[in-house]
Amino acid sequence: MMTPLELYLSAPLGSKIRFSNGQPRPPERFTRKVKAWENDNGTGTLIECQPGCDRPTYSSPATFGLHLATYSSGGVPILVVRRIYSVVGNLDFEILERPVAGSARVLTGLADNCELRHLAADDEAARAWLAEHHYHDARIELVSDPDPVDRPLIREEAA
């Protein structure tokens, strides 16, 4: 298990992540307690990491986002469930699976402010997915071995 900060600094985009509050699951007959437990315990895919900011009047810690589920009807996404976590949170995290070398990430956004849209098996599959799902600012990034993670904790000020 690792802290949210350790996860932010070491997990590559596309990793399968488990999060937990460390408590055992309550018995099923306690439906409210089970729902509360499920809110703090589950798995997701790491889709974004945002550096924090430190300004004279405002400061915020770095955050990362997990994609938890997509609910569809007739092949059309109706609801996408994502959750944003702070690096100063109190949950425990674990990397269950890292992206395989040779796979391809479809990303949107800028270098320290990008979001994973899709993780494909290879470059050809990523291009096919991108042709079907139109993102005007998307780029494809191949996963290397090792897959280095280099994220700033604080966003640098523009000069």
Q: What is the 3-state secondary structure (H, E, C) of 21-45?
A: CCCCCCCCCCHHHHHHHHHHCEEEE
Give residue-wise pLDDT tens across range 113-125: 889 999 999 999 9
Give residue-wise pLDDT tens across range 53-109: 888 888 899 999 999 999 999 888 899 999 999 999 999 999 999 999 999 999 998
- Please classify residue 8 by burial: count the beta carbons closer than 10 Å to its beta carbon, then call 0-12 exposed, 13-18 middle and 19+ buried: buried
Residues 3-11: what's their mean pLDDT? Answer: 95
Q: How much of the chain, in percent, has pLDDT values that exceed 90?
A: 75
pTM across the whole model = 0.90
Residues 14-53: b if buried by 16+ CB within 10 A, e if exposed: bbbbebeeeeeeeeeeeeeeeeebeeebeebbbbbbbbbe
Alpha-carbon gap, residue 89 to 71, rounded angstroms: 27
How many residues in the chain? 159
What is the per-residue pLDDT for 158?
52
Nearest CA to 149 out of 112, 103, 106, 108 is that of 112
Q: Kindly tell me if the per-residue pLDDT of 12 is higher than 90.
A: yes
Confidence of residue 34 (pLDDT cuts 50, 70, 90): very high
| Ranges 47-51, 75-79, 150-154: which has the least confidence | 150-154
What is the per-residue pLDDT for 139?
93
Alpha-carbon gap, residue 133 to 122, rounded angstroms: 16
